[in-house]
Amino acid sequence: MLLTPTTAILETDHLSREVAGVRIVDNVTVTVPTGRVLVVVGPSGAGKSSFLRLLNRLDEPTSGAVWFEGHDYRQIPPRELRRRVGMVTQTAYLFPGTLADNLRFGPLQHGIELPARTIDALLTEVGLEGRSREDVAHLSGGEAQRVSLARALANEPAVLLLDEPTSSLDAEAKDEIEKLILGVVRRKQFTCVMVSHDLSQAARVADQIMVMNKGRVTKIGAVSEVINAEGVLQ
């Protein structure tokens, strides 16, 4: 089940997580090559988000290993690992305050005061130029998700985990955010692992698709190998 290109930034090796006797992630071995987008699809309850949470160690694997930049990630301090493996969640949880406060948060945890010009550049990147002093309480769902993406980027991660970042948005905002994410990912050559319910979205965004069901990987490969011309799983 290994992906084809050679330079791997993130690898999992028989990764499993068991909670209360149930294997919610079961024996997943996958390699995510540098600069590629792996989209994880599958029905509700398949273990997609649970798998993603293991990659930045928000949850602890029961067995197996995760290798980040060639190191067993348990050897890396969790806070440093999470800075390097950024995450954008389905709901944009923003801290009370301004957009700038939210963008400063991550770097501040590591003693870095983000300069105003970097904040402006990040906000421009996500289409919110000139709004750094605005209170997050006044943002729409789509705008909040843009801030969430910019905040993750402020940490300069090497890998970006996206947990259904458009599923809680309306159709218009969903399209905008998807284009924005795709643009940022392609422009910056980000390595990305994205969870999606939407097969057509997966086909648009992915270099590789991994199908999960009941915690296990049932199929993995290039888009054309996993989804047929009608947009249905093969």
Are 1 and 217 in contact by the 8 Å Cβ rule? The answer is yes
Length of the chain: 234
Alpha helices in the chain (DSSP H): 48-55, 78-84, 99-108, 116-125, 141-154, 171-188, 199-205, 223-226
Q: In the bound complex, what is the minimum distance in angstroms from residue 5's beta carbon to another protein?
A: 27
Q: In the bound complex, what is the minimum distance in angstroms from residue 230's beta carbon to another protein?
A: 27
Q: Which stretch binds another protein (CB under 8 A): 28-36, 40-48, 127-135, 218-226?
A: 40-48
- Torsion-angle region of 27 (φ positive above 0: left; ψ -120 to 50: alpha; else: beta): left
Using CB under 8 A as the criterion, what x/- string covers residues 90-119 for binding another protein? xx-x-x---------xx--xx---------
Q: What is the DSSP letter of 215?
A: T
Neighbouring CB atoms inside 10 A of 230's CB total: 6
Q: Give residue 21's identity as a one-letter amino acid code.
A: G
Q: In the bound complex, what is the minimum distance in angstroms from residue 32's beta carbon to another protein?
A: 18
How far apart (Å, rounded) are the C-alpha atoms in residues 30 and 8?
A: 10
Q: How many residues bind another protein (CB under 8 A)?
A: 39
Using CB under 8 A as the criterion, what x/- string covers residues 54-93 for binding another protein? --xxxxx-------------x---xxx-xx--xx-xxx-x
Q: Of the two residues 88 and 128, which places its CB atom closer to another protein in the complex? A: 88
Give me the residues that bind another protein (CB under 8 A), please.
18-22, 24, 44-50, 56-60, 74, 78-80, 82-83, 86-87, 89-91, 93, 95, 105-106, 109-110, 151-152, 155, 164
